[in-house]
Amino acid sequence: MRNDSRAPLTTAKITRAGHLVILLLLLTLFVIKPFFSTFMDYGENIESLEQQLSTYERLAQSLNQNRSELQQLQQNNPWSQYYLEQTKPALAAAGLQQYLNQLTRRHGGQVVSTKILNRNDDTPLQTVAIQVHLRMDISELVPLLHGLESGTPLALYREFFSNCQCPPVTSNPSTAIATAPAKAPEP
C-alpha cells in the first residue's frame, strides 16, 4: 500500500509542477517580455537620439564658421552688384520700381504708372518684372534705355512700345517691361 499512497502524491506534485510551469510561462509572456521589449526599444531610441545629438552638436560647432564663410563669399562675389538687394520677389519688384523712378527722373522723364508682373520663368535666378508707363522726349529716352542696360543692378527691358506724338508735342509716352534678377533667398 505504500506504493498506492505515493502515486496520488506524485500525481498531485506533477499537477502542481505543471501549474507552476504554466504560471511561470504566463508571467514571462505577459509581464516580463513586455517590460524587456520596452526596455530594448528604449535602448534603441536612446542610441538613435544620442547619434542625432552628436550630429547636431557637430553642426552647431561648425555653424559660426560656416556663417562667416558664407558672409565672406557673399561680400567677395563680383556679381552681387548686378542683383537687386532684396531677396523676396515683392520687395525686389518694389526696389526695381524705385530704381526706375529715380533713373527716369534723372533723365528728365516722368513715370506715369508701374505694375508688378508675375513671371514664372524657369531660370536659375529669380527674376522680377514690372510694366512701366513713361512720359518723356525721345532724346531723354535713349540715355534712359542705355542706362538701364549698362547700369547696375542689371535691368533688361522687353516688349518695348512707343506712342509718338506729332512734332508740336514734346513729350513721348512709352511703355516698357523691365526685368531684373533678384538675390537668391538666404537659407
Amino acid at 22: I
Nearest partner of 128 among 176, 172, 180, judged by Cα: 180
Query: Which residues have CB under 8 Å from 82's CB, separation 6+?
Result: 152, 153, 154, 181
Q: Exposed, middle or buried, 110 (CB in 10 Å: 0-12/13-18/19+)?
A: middle
Q: Where are the alpha helices (DSSP H) in 76-108?
A: 89-106
- pTM of the complete model: 0.49
Per the CB < 8 A criterion, the answer to whether 180 and 126 are in contact is no
SS3 for 22? Answer: helix
pLDDT single digits (tens) 142-156 = 888 888 888 777 777
pLDDT single digits (tens) 156-175 = 777 777 776 655 544 455 55
Amino acid at 44: E
Q: What is the pLDDT of residue 50?
A: 95
The average confidence (pLDDT) of the chain is 79
SS3 for 164? Answer: coil
φ/ψ of 163, rounded to 5, equals -120, 95
- Kindly state the percentage of the chain with pLDDT values over 90: 12
Separation of alpha carbons 115 and 130, rounded Å: 5
Q: What is the pLDDT of residue 6?
A: 59
Q: What is the pLDDT of residue 52?
A: 95
Q: Of 44-58, 75-89, 91-105, 136-150, which one has max mean pLDDT?
A: 44-58
pLDDT single digits (tens) 32-66 = 888 888 888 898 999 999 999 999 999 999 998 99
Amino acid at 93: A
Q: What is the pLDDT of residue 1?
A: 43
Q: Exposed, middle or buried, 123 (CB in 10 Å: 0-12/13-18/19+)?
A: exposed
SS3 for 88? Answer: coil
> Is pLDDT at 83 greater than 80 in this prediction?
no
Q: What is the pLDDT of residue 51?
A: 95
